[in-house]
């Protein structure tokens, strides 16, 4: 549950700025090549939609797959833990690897965002499923039309113009009273559905323009790509920039079809007049509320379509350079998404003080039971196996001997006595001395200190301030200098900081 909530929060909150950034750069790229062929602008917006979905997904997945191991020095327990035992944790005792910062959200706010997002995605999925059902109903309600010579000639003309991408007799032309405009449906068996009023229309140019436009949709496989775009749009449909990208895709798709119709089937001026006639015959150009169809009225940009048809576009060497620069431009938000992405998670509910104390007590009891069990097993094995008992006794004698050699070496190497070390530590930190021990670091062998070894006194002083706690002072036993000083926080203060 926590992993899924972390994934969703990271996806959702990073998508808020990543999608906006991608849409902004796509707008800049589209404006740069505004005088070039419409198909290039359409490709930019398609790429922007794909990136708007993929970039947040990759960001969330990358954070989730990242493992951040933390290495700590080996700790060897040589006796049973005592209740209330204190440990000192300092920055020098932990070796950590740098990790991305995790931004914690309050549980109420985080759960509200997650539930709202999931409900919105369910709503958008329901609308998409409803649109798919309505499309199937439109397809089933359509009837075949008896192609008269006029309509059949138009179909053959379109098939001949698009012979490289549309096979003859593979596109069915139907009619229906349920559609106000020509539409194209079907993934593998494309079908063009015409309104009955348009089939009965005697205007050859109007029929050629409408049917030619739908044949371009079939040749470009716009129905399949539109369905893919609708599926990708569902998880990011909460974002206004995603809605803008989707709208631009619909608009540039219609402009691409208009451009191809004017190039391959109908004269641009004739096609522009036909679009105006279709627009003037309201409610003929009324757009369907179905997102899984494509047709002549998908974009409410009639004026832009007419202007695009009458404008001549030229692709020179300068625009060819721009076509290379625009994909590079779209790579900028992807790099920014990788560099500035953030990781989000829900703040965990803090246990009560009673729960913390019970957990600490249970941990201590568990450790003591484990130690007692280990000691009992050791004793039983020693009683049952004389050779093992002899080996254990020999190791203990060796440890005692080694400890004696080390203590003798420490006493020989120390230039100041323990009282002097206590005075030096107390002069820097006022309080009551609880403990003072002589030790050394970096032994080359028992009784012989390494070249970089240091002999020191560790003095523990109880602080006099009301907060309590103690101070650990390391004093060099050779010259009396203070090596380092560390403060041990009282138990309550340590708990408050850990929260």
Look at 59-63, 110-114, 342-346 and tell me which has the smallest mean pLDDT: 342-346
Q: Are 53 and 236 in contact (CB under 8 A)?
A: yes
Q: Tokens for 263?
A: 């190039």
Give the mean pLDDT of 327-345.
Answer: 78
Give the mean pLDDT of 443-469.
Answer: 79
For residue 283, say if its preceding peptide bond is cis, omega within 30 degrees of 0.
yes
Give the mean pLDDT of 291-316.
Answer: 72
CATH topology of domain 414-498: Nuclear Transport Factor 2; Chain: A, (3.10.450)
**Between residues 29 and 359, which one has the greater pLDDT?**
29
pLDDT level of residue 229 (50, 70, 90 thresholds): very high
In whole angstroms, give the CA distance from residue 425 to residue 472: 9
Task: Decide if pLDDT at 87 tops 80.
Answer: no
**pLDDT given at position 238:** 93
**pLDDT given at position 237:** 94
The model's pLDDT over 230-239, given as tens digits with 9 standing for 90+, comes to: 999 999 999 9
| Residue 345 backbone phi and psi in degrees, to 5 | -155, 160
- Long-range contacts: 67-76, Cβ < 8 Å, 24+? 68/97, 68/99, 69/97, 70/94, 70/95, 70/96, 70/97, 71/95, 71/96
Q: Is 442 left (phi over 0), alpha (psi -120 to 50) or beta?
A: left
Matching residue, tokens 């954070």: 63
For the chain, give every domain's residue range.
Answer: 1-67+98-143+222-349, 414-498
**Between residues 48 and 464, which one has the greater pLDDT?**
48
> Hey, how many other C-beta atoms are within 10 angstroms of the C-beta on 141?
13
**Between residues 65 and 53, which one has the greater pLDDT?**
53
pLDDT level of residue 69 (50, 70, 90 thresholds): very low
Q: Are 265 and 161 in contact (CB under 8 A)?
A: yes
**pLDDT given at position 74:** 39
**pLDDT given at position 47:** 92
Q: Are 136 and 223 in contact (CB under 8 A)?
A: no
Q: Are 239 and 24 in contact (CB under 8 A)?
A: no
Q: Tokens for 316?
A: 């020179």
pLDDT level of residue 115 (50, 70, 90 thresholds): very high
Give the mean pLDDT of 24-49.
Answer: 88
The model's pLDDT over 119-164, given as tens digits with 9 standing for 90+, comes to: 999 999 999 999 999 888 888 888 887 767 778 888 888 888 888 8
DSSP letters of 18-39? HHHHHHHHHHHHHHHTTTS-HH
The 3-state DSSP class for residue 238 equals coil
The model's pLDDT over 172-182, given as tens digits with 9 standing for 90+, comes to: 888 888 887 88
């Amino acid at each position: 549950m926590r992993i899924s909530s972390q994934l969703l929060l990271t996806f959702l909150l990073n998508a808020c700025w990543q999608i906006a950034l991608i849409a902004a750069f796509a707008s800049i790229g589209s404006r740069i090549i505004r005088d070039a062929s419409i198909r290039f602008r359409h490709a930019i917006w398609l790429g922007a939609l794909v990136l708007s979905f993929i970039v947040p997904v990759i960001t969330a997945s990358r954070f989730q797959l990242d493992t951040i191991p933390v290495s700590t020095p080996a700790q060897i327990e040589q006796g049973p833990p005592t209740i209330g035992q204190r440990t000192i944790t300092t920055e020098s005792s932990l070796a950590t690897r740098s990790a991305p910062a995790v931004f914690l959200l309050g549980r109420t706010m985080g759960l509200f965002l997650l539930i709202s997002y999931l409900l919105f995605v369910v709503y958008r999925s329901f609308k998409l499923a409803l649109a798919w059902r309505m499309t199937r109903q439109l397809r089933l309600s359509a009837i075949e039309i008896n192609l008269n010579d006029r309509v059949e000639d138009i179909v053959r003309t379109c098939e001949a113009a698009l012979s490289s991408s549309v096979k003859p007799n593979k596109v069915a032309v139907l009619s229906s009273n349920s559609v106000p405009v020509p539409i194209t449906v079907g993934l593998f068996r494309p079908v063009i559905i015409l309104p009955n009023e348009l089939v009965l229309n005697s205007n050859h140019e109007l029929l050629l323009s409408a049917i030619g436009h739908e044949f371009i949709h079939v040749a470009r496989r716009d129905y399949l790509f539109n369905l893919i775009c609708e599926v990708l749009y569902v998880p990011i449909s909460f974002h206004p920039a995603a809605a803008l990208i989707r709208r631009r895709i619909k608009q540039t798709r219609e402009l691409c079809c208009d451009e191809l119709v004017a190039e391959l089937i109908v004269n641009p001026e004739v096609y522009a007049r036909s679009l105006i006639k279709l627009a003037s015959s309201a409610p003929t150009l009324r757009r369907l509320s179905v997102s899984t169809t494509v047709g002549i009225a998908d974009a409410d940009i009639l004026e832009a379509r007419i202007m695009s048809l009458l404008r001549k576009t030229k692709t020179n060497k300068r625009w060819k350079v721009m076509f290379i620069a625009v994909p590079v431009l779209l790579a900028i938000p992807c790099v920014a998404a990788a560099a500035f992405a953030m990781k989000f998670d829900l703040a965990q509910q803090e246990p009560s003080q009673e729960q913390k104390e019970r957990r600490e007590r249970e941990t201590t009891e568990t450790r003591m039971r484990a130690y007692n069990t280990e000691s009992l097993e050791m004793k039983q094995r020693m009683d049952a196996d004389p050779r093992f008992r002899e080996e254990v006794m020999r190791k203990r004698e060796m440890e005692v001997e080694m400890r004696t050699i080390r203590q003798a070496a420490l006493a020989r190497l120390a230039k100041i006595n323990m009282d002097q070390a206590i005075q030096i530590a107390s002069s820097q930190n006022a309080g009551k001395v609880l403990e003072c021990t002589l030790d050394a670091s970096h032994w080359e062998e028992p009784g012989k200190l390494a070249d970089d070894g240091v002999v020191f006194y560790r003095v523990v002083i109880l602080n006099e301030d009301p907060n309590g706690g103690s101070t650990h002072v390391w004093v060099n036993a050779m010259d009396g200098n203070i090596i380092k000083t560390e403060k041990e926080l009282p138990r309550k203060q340590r708990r408050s900081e850990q929260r």
